[in-house]
Amino acid sequence: MRRRQFVAALPLVSGLAGCLSGSEPTESTGTDRPGPAETTSTDTGTPEPAETVSTTLRSSYRYGINDDAIGVASPERAQFAFVRPPDAHEERPPDAYALKLGSERFAPATSVSGFMSWTPGIDSVYTDDRRGGSLRFDVPAVEADSAALLGDGRRWRLDESARERLATAPDLRLDSLQVPNSVEPNERFELGVTVSNDGDRTGTFLAGFRTGGYPKTIEVNVDPGSTESGSVTFEAFDDEREMSFAYSGPGTDERVSVVVRAATETPGPTSDESGTDSSASPDPFY
């Protein structure tokens, strides 16, 4: 989905961290290990440590709301840049830092939704309430001759590959949900998404489905100009005539349902987005 058209997704699926499923993401990450703690001088005389900072770029942020629900937030600009400060300290608030891209400065989020990160590659977000993890910056796609994290009179360079990747961004769009009209009791079936990337860098679409409090998450890697699908598998109950699911993704949340047929019923066709009701409550379980 286009980031400027959608703001933030509402709760859905999530559960214990062990419930996470899906393929490993390929969206941009920087994992360079810090070098020696030497410093160089900038034009303004600001100390600049020789070490670089770890940077991860994401097109959305998936988070846990409680033990069995998640949400997915979209950036207002092109993407989120998660930068881990080398000198994190419980007495140093997030607004003590800034991300400088060329001549522009960006402030980090001081708070984020949810109580934990369910975003691949991001263990936690550095906020006023939790002084640890990565700072989250909402940034445009920008070509910059320099990129650095500023904090407490110090300056840490982003590694060269991260600076180059900041000039591009994925533009992920949800094309459809795949939901069967009906299934047999105890039958295993799939719920899925189809996603296109109108941007100029590979991105990872983060979403998920849940029913009865147990979430299953989806990560779909999509190259520029491509369309990809991803799905999760559930098993039909044998004592209910209908199963309801909550879906959440960037900019979209819906309730979908699947009919569980009795043995004498005639199977119906399967179609995309069957049983969806976008006007209903985003989470049927609360």
Residues 217 and 266 in one domain: yes
**Single residue among 136, 165, 194 that ends a domain in this structure:** 165
Residues 119 and 59 in one domain: yes
pLDDT for 269? 56
pLDDT for 168? 98
Residues 191 and 133 in one domain: no
Residues 161 and 178 in one domain: no
Residues 190 and 263 in one domain: yes
| Both tokens assigned to 208 | 């998920």
Cβ neighbors of 212 (< 8 A, separation 6 or more) are: 285
* 3-class DSSP string for 194-229: EEEECCCCCEEEEEEEEECCEEEEEEEEECCCCEEE
Closest alpha carbon to 181 in 252, 121, 268:
268
Residues 103 and 211 in one domain: no
Residues 140 and 45 in one domain: yes
Residues 144 and 181 in one domain: no
159 in Cβ contact with 255 (< 8 Å): no
Is 154 part of a structural domain of the chain?
A: yes
Residues 183 and 155 in one domain: no
Cα 27 to Cα 178, 204, 237, 268: the distances in Å are: 24, 6, 36, 39
Residues 137 and 33 in one domain: yes
Is 282 part of a structural domain of the chain?
A: no
Cα 138 to Cα 59, 89, 159, 196, 239: the distances in Å are: 10, 22, 18, 22, 47
Is 45 part of a structural domain of the chain?
A: yes
pLDDT for 274? 47
Closest alpha carbon to 202 in 57, 82, 101:
57
- CB-side exposure of 103: number of CA atoms within 13 Å? 0
Is 105 part of a structural domain of the chain?
A: yes
pLDDT for 27? 72
Is 186 part of a structural domain of the chain?
A: yes
**Single residue among 139, 165, 191 that ends a domain in this structure:** 165
pLDDT for 283? 52
Is 78 part of a structural domain of the chain?
A: yes
Residues of the chain with pLDDT under 70: 1-26, 28-50, 263-286
pLDDT for 263? 53
Residues 191 and 66 in one domain: no
Q: What is the pLDDT of residues 174-188, one digit of tens each?
A: 999 999 999 999 999
Which domain, by its residues, includes 209? Answer: 172-272
Is 17 part of a structural domain of the chain?
A: no
CATH at 191:
2.60.40.10
Is 19 part of a structural domain of the chain?
A: no
pLDDT for 49? 57
**Single residue among 115, 135, 165 that ends a domain in this structure:** 165
Domain count, the chain: 2
67 in Cβ contact with 16 (< 8 Å): yes
Residues 36 and 146 in one domain: yes
Q: Tokens 């991105």, residue?
A: 203
